Chain A
């Protein structure tokens, strides 16, 4: 359930803030329904939001999109969104877990919290993606992913709605790929399916 035996990766994690809804529509919307890895997403949204974003994306996208539930297995071919006002984490057995620990750099859910937990859980078998956003959430997490041997993908700041988050990520690590938004999904498909 936690990935494809042909892939050397076990999961993708994505972090996005301002401009996130459009970016997610583009990237998640371009993933095939049988994408061979689980995708976990932290998008900064209002703590009072409901699961509307998950429902919207699920309608628009070929791949299944849902709000993450605790104890749920991170199954391939599914995108799990962090619930509003909870941190999303993943355990070593690929079970999702939630926490209400304090916001990290004013964010709950926090991209760093997800990325760090995922780096611990999946080590080199992880792809981390930082996209448009203000602030610097995700930079520390991406650094941890690189340290653990994973792959770092950053949206090209030049085309981002808000360029601070991708710029900060590029300062924190040397990304494996810096690509424009529309090339992120094809890149993920290629990485996930190449042996």
Chain B
């Protein structure tokens, strides 16, 4: 048997074991990505094969945590896809402002770059103190980083450019303090975001939301898990609420699609219908 085939068998055995022992279900993740991440983890783990690693992973929580951290790290940047954030500012925020208080769920927030981007945008649009953002991720280590709001200073130049392209109304450097090689986001931004652990594959919803942002997370999921997560979002969103997906993530063909209209073409900002008749 060729080594790649053997690796795939070991990977399936391991993921099944992980699901049974720890309740984390990765069997509905796209295989190419998860294989790549597990291969990467294995190369740095000191184990020769996944079979060797399996005993430790299933019996030792710390070994599992190391694997979990490594295969669930998502990366983003501030104001990634500036045109999206500009559209959000111009076409969605005016609707949000009609509510006395706005609740937002940012699902799969990773280390928080987009959470802070959104908080900046909402502050600039006059919603300061009138919104609460729940930013969730499966990976507790990146959540910790997100909560601290500390980012490499060398990224700030790029983020500043993104911020300006996204229609930023102020000076980006007003939102962080530079310390040595790092930038720390201001406390007033951090105070409006609640970072919490949440696993989209198994956990339930968060209560009523006006806006859900989940960009470039569903691309890692197989169709069954995508459907599960979209249904979860649909349950949380109020009628007239907004769902924002990544630019390459279309709702077309998904079960909840009939209840949603794309607000601006290509930006993957969907608005939930007020019409109850369209419910399943």
Q: Does A71 contact B (CB under 8 A)?
A: yes
CA distance A99 to B30 in the complex (A): 10
B181 at the interface (CB under 8 A from A): no
With A83-B248, A102-B75, A113-B36 in contact, is A97–B4 under 8 Å at CB? no
Tell me whether A21 is interfacial, beta carbon within 8 Å.
no
B2 contacts the other chain (CB 8 A): yes
Question: Are B216 and A100 within 8 A (Cβ)?
Answer: yes
Known: A70-B219, A117-B36, A120-B4. A97 touches B248 (CB 8 A): no
B36 pairs with A101, CB closer than 8 A: yes
Partner of A90, one of B8, B32, B36: B32
Given the known inter-chain contacts A70-B248, A71-B223, A148-B4, please indicate yes or no for A101 contacting B37, CB distance below 8 A: yes
Known: A98-B248, A148-B2. A89 touches B32 (CB 8 A): yes
Tell whether A86 is near chain B: CB-to-CB under 8 Å. yes
**Does the CB pair B248–A101 fall under 8 Å?**
no
Are the CB atoms of A91 and B31 closer together than 8 Å? yes
The reply on B24 being an interface residue by CB < 8 A is no
| Any B CB within 8 A of the CB of A92 | yes
For the complex, what is the distance from the CA of A97 to the CA of B216, rounded to whole Å? 12
B residues whose Cβ falls under 8 Å from a Cβ of A: 2, 4, 8, 30-33, 35-37, 74-76, 216, 219-220, 223, 246-250
Q: Which residues of B contact A71 (CB under 8 A)?
A: 223
Contact between A101 and B249 (Cβ–Cβ < 8 Å)?
no
Provide the residues of chain B in CB contact with A133, threshold 8 Å: none
In the complex, per-residue mask of A87-118: 1 if CB is within 8 Å of any chain B CB, else 0: 00111100001111110000000000100110
CB distance from B43 to the nearest CB of A (A): 13
A-B residue pair count with CB separations less than 8 angstroms = 57
Q: Does A121 contact B (CB under 8 A)?
A: yes
CB<8 Å pairs between A and B, sample of 29: A69-B250, A70-B249, A71-B223, A83-B247, A86-B219, A92-B31, A97-B32, A98-B219, A98-B248, A99-B30, A99-B32, A99-B33, A99-B36, A100-B74, A100-B75, A100-B219, A100-B246, A101-B36, A101-B37, A101-B75, A102-B75, A113-B36, A117-B36, A119-B4, A120-B4, A120-B32, A120-B35, A123-B2, A148-B2
Across-interface contacts of A148 in B (CB, < 8 A): 2, 4
Cβ–Cβ < 8 Å partners of B74 in chain A: 100
**In contact, A89 and B33 (Cβ under 8 angstroms):** yes
Q: Which residues of B contact A69 (CB under 8 A)?
A: 248, 250
- In the complex, which residue of chain A has the Cβ closest to the Cβ of B218? A70
How many chain A residues have a CB neighbour from B under 8 Å?
23
A102 to B246, CA, bound (A): 16
How far is it, in angstroms, between the C-alpha of A90 and the C-alpha of B32 when the chains are bound? 7
Question: What is the distance, in angstroms, from A13's C-beta to the closest C-beta of chain B?
Answer: 13
State the CA gap A123–B30 with chains docked (Å). Answer: 18
Q: How far is the CB of A122 from chain B (nearest CB, A)?
A: 11
Within 8 A of B (CB), among A43-61: none
Complex Cα distance A98/B8, Å?
20
Q: Give the distance in Å from the alpha carbon of A86 to the alpha carbon of B81 in the complex.
A: 12
B-side contacts of A123, CB under 8 Å: 2, 4
Give Cα A91–Cα B30 distance, bound, in whole angstroms. 8
Please indicate the chain B residues that have their CB under 8 angstroms from the CB of A119 in the complex.
4
- Give the contacting residue for B33; candidates A83, A92, A97; CB below 8 A: A97
Closest to A93 in B: B31
> Can you list, as one digit per residue, whether each of A123-156 has a CB less than 8 Å from chain B (1) or not (0)?
1000000000000000000000000100000000
CA distance A54 to B187 in the complex (A): 44
Nearest Cβ distance between residue B33 and chain A, in whole angstroms? 5
